[in-house]
Structure formats: structure tokens, C-alpha cells
Structure 1
């Protein structure tokens, strides 16, 4: 993941996939769910459109996020990377050459401090922070981490996207990505 401002399409269903692929500006898609029977086709469609795809492996039906499960993801499904909330999954995925995005849910100051410590230990390639509508915390994370910083969750308006970028986010992930690209 590069340090540049990007809006990432978060995909929950086939309709969202079709919409995301209809926007040439969407370069990265986060596939949030699915099952082992259909994911290979979904990933192939995304790659054929020359876009990056990351799977949220915690939500894939039929997938165990153990060593063999991540080996299957890397060798058979072949996404560009994975998203997870779990440090041990980050470490397994990295062993298989996958780019890793670790999600961090912020609920209080203690959670923020523990999250920073956890990220320094697991060393994902990027971190996705939720919710993404807290500019002060985005600035604090930007100062504390050198990882690419993705923010998401509860973002619905162009102004909120711009606030996140202004606070130091490298990317914003959202289901309603159309608000960024439509005039």
C-alpha cells in the first residue's frame, strides 16, 4: 500500500462490485464477505479489471484463518492482500506473501493505546481504523505510526472524507464511495 490519498470501495454484495468496477477511479476494493465457492470468480473479475482486491478473511464463509486457510487464500484465491482484526492472522498472511491490513476498532483511550502496541508487534502493511470520523485520533495515529493509515466506518459525506485526508489518512474505505466520485 502506498502513502497517497485514495478512496477504497468496500464491497458487500454483487451490486456493490458492479458499481465499484464502473468507476475507473476506484483502484482498490475491499471484499467484506463471501464464500469459498464464489470468491475465485469475484477475485478474477476484479483482477481482470486491473484493480487491487483485499479479502476480509474473518468474514469468508468456509474459510479457516489458520495456516492452511491462509495458504489456500494465497495460492488459490490470489487476492493482493487480506484484511483482519487479528494479529496472528496478519503474521500468517505475511508468511504467504500477502499484503496485510489490520483493522483497529477504537472505543476509548485504552483501546487506542493497546491498538498501537498491538500494531507495532504484528507489523501489518497498513492499518484500517474505525470509525473514521475522528480527526484528532487520526492525527495522533499518524504521529505514532509509520504504517499507511486507512480510515473507515460511519463516513457518509465528501466533507468527512476530506476531513480524514486533512487529518493524515492515506486512504478512506467506504461502501458509499460514489459520494467521493460524483460531482
Structure 2
């Protein structure tokens, strides 16, 4: 498992994080410069193999727990992820899963959807409760909102969702985001 400092350095070194939603995307991302892979697919039967594939090429594997099939939302699911797959970290919208991952020494990404002003207002409270290593906000194409969040939150911000070109990346980074995440393989090459 990669130390938290090394993961944060990897984000700093290359602010484009590959996010994969299928096997084809996984194979493509393994050939990129990005050191971090957000795994957004899989199930209880194959997640170990997916994580191993990422780690075999010396990349950091961070699994989105909420998107895995056959894995519940109880803390024991995080124990399974740590013990059976050796994932470096998890992504989740669920505070209980993030808290358990922190207890196990895993890297944590709190994913937050900014749907309206109420979601924006509650973001600082969520960050305080979860104490994530980083926060990922979606959609990531809102520079003005990203700038507001960066001013409120003391952890690095990753912008994800709907990032489709260099302009989107520049907008997010210029607004204070530490990185972007994208499933778009064209973005990975920018």
C-alpha cells in the first residue's frame, strides 16, 4: 500500500487522474503517465484481479466502493477491500466507509455531487465529518464553484465529471483544484 504522502505527491506530479469504468479503459490507462487509477467498476468476484492489474504496473489503485457489485455499504466491505485486494484507497459518498478506511490506514476520497446551493452549503460539514485525504467534486466543470469550495475546505480538491478537454482541465486547476479525474481517454493524453 502506498503511503498517503506518496499518493499526494503523485497527484501533484500529474494532475490528470485516470478513472476507469470498464476493462477496455483499464487496459488503456495502464499505458498512461498517470500514477493514480480510480477504479469505477467491478464486483466482489473480480475486484481483486482489477486492483492487482493496476498494482502490477506500479500504479496506485483507488476503488469506488459505491459502484462495486455484490459489496454492501457496511464497514466490513472496507475490511474486505483492504485485506483481500490490497487497494491503496477508496472513493465513497458514504461517511461510514471513509471513516473505516481511515482506521485501516487507507487513502480516502470523499465524492460529493454539487447539485444545488444546499449541496454546496453542506460540503464543509461533510468534509469535517469524513476527514478525507482529498475531496472529489462533480461535476468538475464549474470553476466558480470549485474556487468557492477550495476556499472553504482544507483538503485537496479533485474535479471530476464532464471534463472533456484542455479548457476544462485549465479551468479546474486555475480555480484551485489539485487535479482532475476523467474516464475520457482523450483527456488522459493531454
**TM-score bucket of the superposed structures, by smaller chain:** over 0.9
- Aligned residue in 2 for 1:153: 161
The one-character-per-residue Cα deviations of 1:59-106 (angstroms, maximum 9, x if unpaired) are 111112212211111111111100001111111111111111010100
Structure 1 stretches lacking a partner, 5+ long: none
Task: Give the whole-Å Cα distance in 2 for the aligned partners of 1:82 and 1:136.
Answer: 27
The one-character-per-residue Cα deviations of 1:117-169 (angstroms, maximum 9, x if unpaired) are 11112111110000001101111111111101101111111111111111111
Task: Give the whole-Å Cα distance in 2 for the aligned partners of 1:37 and 1:122.
Answer: 28
- Following TM superposition, by how much is the alpha carbon of 1:46 offset from its aligned partner in structure 2, in angstroms? 0.6
Structure 1 residue aligned with 2:62, among 43, 54, 57? 54
Residue 132 of structure 1 aligns to a residue in which SS? coil
Task: Give the whole-Å Cα distance in 1 for the aligned partners of 2:110 and 2:39.
Answer: 14
Structure 2 stretches lacking a partner, 5+ long: 1-6
Residue 10 of structure 1 aligns to a residue in which SS? strand
Does the CA-based 8 Å contact 1:7-1:177 persist in structure 2?
A: no
C-alpha RMSD of the superposition: 1.3
TM-score by length of 1: 0.94
Matches within 5 A, 1:136-175: 136-175=144-183
Task: Give the whole-Å Cα distance in 2 for the aligned partners of 1:122 and 1:26.
Answer: 26
TM-score by length of 2: 0.91
Task: Give the whole-Å Cα distance in 2 for the aligned partners of 1:88 and 1:69.
Answer: 11
Query: Moved runs in structure 1, 4+ residues, more than 6 A?
Result: none
* Most deviating of 126-135 and 65-74: 65-74
Task: Give the whole-Å Cα distance in 1 for the aligned partners of 2:18 and 2:163.
Answer: 12
Q: Aligned pairs, how many? A: 181
Residue 143 of structure 1 aligns to a residue in which SS? helix
Matches within 5 A, 1:92-131: 92-131=100-139
- Aligned residue in 2 for 1:8: 17
- Aligned residue in 2 for 1:65: 73
Task: Give the whole-Å Cα distance in 2 for the aligned partners of 1:98 and 1:146.
Answer: 19
